[in-house]
Homo-oligomer: A and B are copies of this chain.
Amino acid sequence: MIKRSSARDRILETASQLFQERGYSEVGINEIIDKADTAKATFYQHFPSKESLCTEWLKAVHERSERVRQEILDSDLAPAEKIDRYFVGLGQFLEENDFRGCPYTNTGAVIDEECACIREKIESHKLAIRAFFHKLTAELCPTGRRAKALGDTLFLLFSGATVEGQNLRSLWPVEAARAAAGELCARESDPTAS
């Protein structure tokens, strides 16, 4: 007989999907356990609260996205190509998730102010993405002291593309951001070009 995945895994996976699709605050525990085909007592045996389920979910999301960034960094592409690849990946992510945008941003918009634990996770996730761009722009223009500013610009283009892709349910913001990033990188590595 096929061993079913553990109840905990089913709960976390189901919750991840539902949170991503409709948002943390719009999904209740009852629905999660129904769809995960488990019992409420089992849920509370593995997670002390709904909030802890949220942090586990976000942790998994962060780890996966860090792996993606690390793979890009480890690849032998040129810096500008690495950046381009990351924007292409964003487009795929949005399409795969029905343009639901960033789980961190979406969650941050609904949890209350005093939930410091989740707020910190949001901040560090965003700063990790920013640091990723900083690494790449430093690689791109090792002599330029504008690497940091360029990294911030790319980070903001990336965020803007994510959120407007979500708002407009469209891929054009990602493509526009990608094109802008490509041009900025080209200009930075060859400042004399038009």
Contacts and interface: CB of A to CB of B under 8 A. Distances in A.
Contacts of A25: 25-26, 110
A106 interface: yes
**Copies of this chain held together in the complex:** 2
Contacts of A105: 109, 163, 166-167
A23 B157 contact: no
Interface stretch (A34-42, A50-58, A68-76, A148-156): A148-156
A110 B26 contact: yes
B149 A179 contact: yes
Interface majority SS (helix, strand, loop, mixed), chain A: helix
Could you say which interface size class chain A belongs to? 35 or more
Interface string A110-144: 10100000000011001100000000000000000
A112 B26 contact: yes
A61 B151 CA distance: 32
Contacts of A179: 149
Given A25-B110, A126-B164, A149-B176, 18 more contacts: A25-B26, A104-B167, A105-B109, A108-B167, A149-B179, A153-B180, A155-B160, A156-B160, A156-B164, A156-B173, A156-B177, A157-B157, A157-B160, A159-B160, A159-B163, A160-B160, A163-B163, A191-B194
24 contacts: A22-B112, A23-B110, A25-B25, A25-B110, A26-B112, A105-B166, A105-B167, A109-B110, A109-B166, A122-B167, A126-B164, A126-B168, A149-B176, A149-B179, A149-B180, A155-B164, A156-B156, A156-B180, A158-B160, A159-B159, A159-B160, A160-B160, A160-B163, A163-B163
